[in-house]
């Protein structure tokens, strides 16, 4: 039973890679990019959220926000450890970049990344107070869900497992946002919520992008991507609209 | 960052003609605690070249020994060295145990496990089944073990002993490719079809909690397909691709020729995904930025010399790497650089992201 099989064929048929020793160089590079997008987004997201803990109106809200900061940082750690097995310097990684950096609030929606980290573009926009943070968390939480669904099927088994592991907590963060928003709506914050939705929705929408057709085909062939950006964006819209309906906050896309 | 530790070889035992079980003891009494199913990565200089190879631990977690199985691979420098030269008393270097080919155990649980091993893929599966049966005293384990013939079965006797020790809880099905078997079902290759037949007549997949598969690629694909067809979810199927498999090449590198000189300029040739592109670049620009400026989708993440995503190999010319927090000395010696931190020194550089 020592049949040889080309790694690319193996991957295209749904094969899994299980440790850095088996991973070809180009696959490694694309996998590292995907992992750093996740790590950087969690770090930047947690860093941004840390600043609004004290804006929480009550102790429950502050606990929820602090918990989100803690767990998102922990999720970054889980995937960063996998990068460490490929040689990334995990000790220096967190310190190499100011994760709280943001663009001015009025920067137009776009998908451009900062040049020094791989955070999703949405994390380059600053939060503006408590209501805004909760709205962003809800909008982005559902987008994260769509992306995690795809990463959970990754052909790199340790990543797929890490994502399966963190997903229930990420889902909980989105539920916390929905609960928080329901309270804010009751307290008559409807106008502020609507303003924040109008601000965040297009900025979250912009994170769904595909690389060139060739690259996407290659990533799909290697089992590192499954859905297209438009499929993920549709899944996000559906989830978010359902949540807004539950909250009685109907807002056009 | 992974670190290497020194381990003393305590025993080298032949299991079959071309495989050894090596017993190791960490020097300096360092704790080398492992989880069942993990592997060790060794480094060894052989004929002036540093090699790194990973081998699965075959001991159970509670056995109090650290053992790996190493099967000789045709043309494999490390495995041949281990089979022919390794002797008790020698000191080898290995990183602490790594790998996630395991599930959490619970002494009170009553679970059914199914393991598939092809050839030397038995090593981590053996570690798992020994640990599971010792820890979860109400759980059972069925092993489907594929080999060419009877004389290539690693740990055959040990498995027999374990069957006696865990009477009724360990079931071993040998499937042999070339030797005739009493039951036709147990002859041939373990592929999707064979699995389907086993699941229809011999193994009740509906009761399986977790399946472990370690073997060559086609075998893993076939088994995974059959398991999913029979209702197992992705999260219930754990794979370990032979840790000793050679890293495959996705595509062949291409080469090209070009030349050009100018004091502050460099003629660069960059290969990515099998395509080489030549362009002139400024010596004050990093290799990575130059590739990106020339519309190449070169890989990177941190741009700070920390993450190693942008690693490439310099084939011709020289570059200066101004920071390196990720590559190890042996990689640098082989010509690897972090392209985000590397600036051309010579009038011509050739780099490759594909190797």
Question: Given CB atoms, is B186 within the 8 Å cutoff of chain A?
Answer: no
Greater model confidence, A92 or B269: B269
Query: Using one digit for the tens of pLDDT, what is the confidence trace for A134-165?
Result: 999 999 999 999 999 999 999 999 999 999 99
**CATH code reported for the domain at B4-95:** 2.40.30.10
What is the three-state SS of B91-147? EEEEECCECCCCCCCCCCCCCEEEEEEEHHHHHHHHHHHHHHHHHCCCCEEEEEEEE
- Show me where the domains of chain A are located: 21-102+116-246
Interface test with B, best of A2, A36, A119 (most B CBs within 10 A): A2
Per CATH, the homologous superfamily of domain A21-102+116-246 is: Ferritin, core subunit, four-helix bundle (1.20.1260.10)
CB pairs under 8 A between A and B: 175
User: Is the Cβ pair B216, A33 closer than 8 Å?
Assistant: no
Q: Angle, nearest 10°, between helix axes A59-85 and A129-151?
A: 30
In the block, which residue shows the tokens 């393991």?
Answer: B115
What letter does residue A17 receive in the DSSP assignment? B
Query: Using one digit for the tens of pLDDT, what is the confidence trace for A21-32?
Result: 878 899 999 999
Query: Using one digit for the tens of pLDDT, what is the confidence trace for A198-253?
Result: 999 999 999 998 888 888 999 999 999 999 999 999 999 999 999 999 999 875 44
Helix extents (H) in B202-309: 217-229, 287-293
Reported ipTM: 0.74
pLDDT score recorded for residue B1: 52
Answer whether residue B108 shows pLDDT above 70: yes
The mean pLDDT of B307-333, rounded to a whole number, is: 91
Chain A environment of B328 (Cβ under 8 Å):
87
Distance from CA of A20 to the nearest CA of B (A): 9
Which long-range CB contacts under 8 A does B328-334 form with residues at least 24 apart? B328/A87, B330/B43, B330/B50, B331/A87
Look at the domain B112-241 and name its fold.
Answer: Rossmann fold (3.40.50)
pLDDT score recorded for residue A253: 41
Given this structure, which CATH class describes domain B265-352? alpha beta
Query: Using one digit for the tens of pLDDT, what is the confidence trace for B328-346?
Result: 888 999 999 999 999 999 9
CB B2 within 8 A of CB B17: no
Distance from C-alpha of B222 to C-alpha of A3, rounded to nearest angstrom:
13
Answer whether residue B253 shows pLDDT above 60: no
- Show me where the domains of chain B are located: 4-95, 112-241, 265-352
Chain B environment of A120 (Cβ under 8 Å):
none
Residue among B119, B146, B326 minimizing CB distance to A88: B326
Distance from C-alpha of B126 to C-alpha of A9, rounded to nearest angstrom:
28
């Amino acid at each position: 039973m020592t049949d040889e099989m080309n790694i690319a064929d193996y991957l295209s048929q749904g094969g899994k890679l299980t440790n850095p020793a088996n991973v070809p160089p180009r696959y490694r590079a694309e996998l590292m990019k995907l992992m750093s997008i996740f790590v950087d987004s969690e770090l930047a997201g947690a860093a941004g959220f840390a600043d609004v803990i004290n804006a929480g109106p009550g102790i429950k809200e502050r606990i929820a926000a602090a918990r989100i900061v803690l767990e998102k940082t922990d999720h970054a750690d889980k995937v960063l450890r996998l990068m460490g097995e490929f040689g990334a310097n995990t000790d220096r990684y967190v310190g190499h970049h100011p994760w709280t950096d943001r663009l001015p609030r009025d920067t137009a929606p776009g998908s451009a990344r900062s040049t020094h980290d791989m955070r999703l573009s949405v994390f380059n926009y600053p939060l503006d107070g408590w209501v805004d943070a909760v709205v962003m968390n809800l909008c982005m939480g559902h987008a994260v869900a769509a992306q995690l669904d795809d990463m959970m099927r990754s052909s790199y088994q340790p990543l797929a497992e890490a994502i399966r592991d963190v997903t229930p907590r990420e889902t909980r963060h989105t539920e916390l946002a929905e609960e928080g928003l329901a309270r804010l709506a009751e307290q008559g914050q409807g106008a502020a919520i609507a303003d924040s939705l109008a601000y965040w929705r297009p900025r979250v929408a912009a994170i769904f992008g595909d690389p060139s057709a060739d690259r996407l085909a290659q990533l799909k062939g290697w089992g590192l991507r499954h859905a297209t950006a438009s499929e993920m964006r549709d899944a996000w819209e559906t989830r978010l609209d359902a949540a807004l309906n539950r909250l009685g906050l109907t807002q056009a896309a | 960052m992974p670190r290497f530790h020194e381990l003393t070889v305590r025993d080298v035992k032949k299991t079959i003609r071309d495989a050894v079980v090596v017993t190791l003891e960490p020097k300096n009494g360092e704790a080398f605690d492992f989880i069942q199913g993990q592997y060790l990565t060794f480094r060894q200089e052989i004929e002036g070249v540093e090699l790194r190879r990973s081998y699965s631990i075959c001991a159970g977690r509670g056995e109090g020994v650290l053992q790996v199985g190493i099967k000789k691979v045709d043309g494999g420098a490390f495995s041949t060295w281990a089979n022919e030269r390794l002797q008790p008393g020698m000191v080898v270097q290995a990183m602490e145990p790594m790998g996630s080919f395991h599930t959490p155990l619970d002494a009170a649980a009553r679970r059914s496990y199914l393991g598939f091993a092809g050839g030397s893929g038995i090593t981590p599966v053996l570690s798992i089944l020994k640990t599971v049966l010792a820890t979860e005293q109400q759980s059972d384990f069925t092993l489907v073990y594929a080999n060419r013939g009877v004389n290539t079965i690693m740990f055959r006797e040990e498995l027999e002993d374990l069957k006696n020790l865990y009477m009724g809880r360990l079931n071993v099905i040998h499937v042999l490719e070339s030797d005739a078997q009493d039951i036709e079902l147990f002859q041939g290759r373990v592929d999707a079809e064979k699995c389907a037949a086993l699941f229809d007549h011999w193994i009740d997949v509906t009761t399986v909690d977790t399946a472990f598969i370690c073997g060559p690629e086609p075998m893993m694909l076939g088994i995974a397909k059959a398991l999913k067809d029979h209702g197992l979810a992705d999260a219930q199927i754990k794979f370990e691709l032979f840790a000793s498999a050679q890293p495959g090449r996705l595509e062949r590198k291409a080469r090209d020729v070009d030349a050009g000189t100018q004091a502050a300029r460099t003629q660069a040739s960059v290969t990515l995904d099998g395509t080489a592109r030549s362009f002139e670049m400024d010596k004050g620009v990093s290799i990575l930025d130059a590739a990106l400026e020339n519309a190449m989708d070169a890989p990177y993440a941190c741009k700070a010399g920390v993450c190693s995503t942008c690693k490439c190999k310099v084939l011709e010319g020289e570059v200066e790497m101004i920071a390196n927090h990720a590559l190890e000395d042996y990689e640098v010696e082989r010509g690897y650089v972090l392209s985000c931190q590397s600036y051309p020194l010579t009038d011509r550089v050739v780099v490759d992201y594909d190797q």
